[in-house]
Amino acid sequence: MHTEMIGWIAAGLLLLTISTQVWQQWRSQSCEGVSPWLFIGQISASTAFVIYSYLLDNLVFVLTNSMLLVAALFGQTLYLRNKRRSVRLNTNQERSAARTAAVSASMRR
């Protein structure tokens, strides 16, 4: 029983770590400082570990890696949404700056 408790504690810490990153992205609505490969790697690793844990009949790691997989999928979704949002904002800012410059130039004539 003590051995399994160590696994649950480790699983909780790992889930807390990835969930904190996802929460930061959710709150900031930004993907700045986040590698595009972070969640892709996590999704791949978690999928493989779910299969491996299932084959070993290890409930602790099946559940943990399933939760990590869900968190990584949510994180990847947020990353892609925030990336699109950032591109849209930059495009709008560039258009606004171009309009302002055009108006200023026409007023000087």
- Over the chain (109 residues), what is each successive 10-residue block's mean pLDDT? 80 85 84 84 92 92 92 91 85 73 69
pTM over 0.85: no
Question: What pLDDT is attached to residue 23?
Answer: 86
Question: What pLDDT is attached to residue 66?
Answer: 95
Domains of the chain, CATH where assigned: 2-108 (1.20.1280.290)
Q: What is the DSSP string of 1-48?
A: -HHHHHHHHHHHHHHHHHHHHHHHHHHHT--TT--TTHHHHHHHHHHH
Question: What pLDDT is attached to residue 109?
Answer: 65
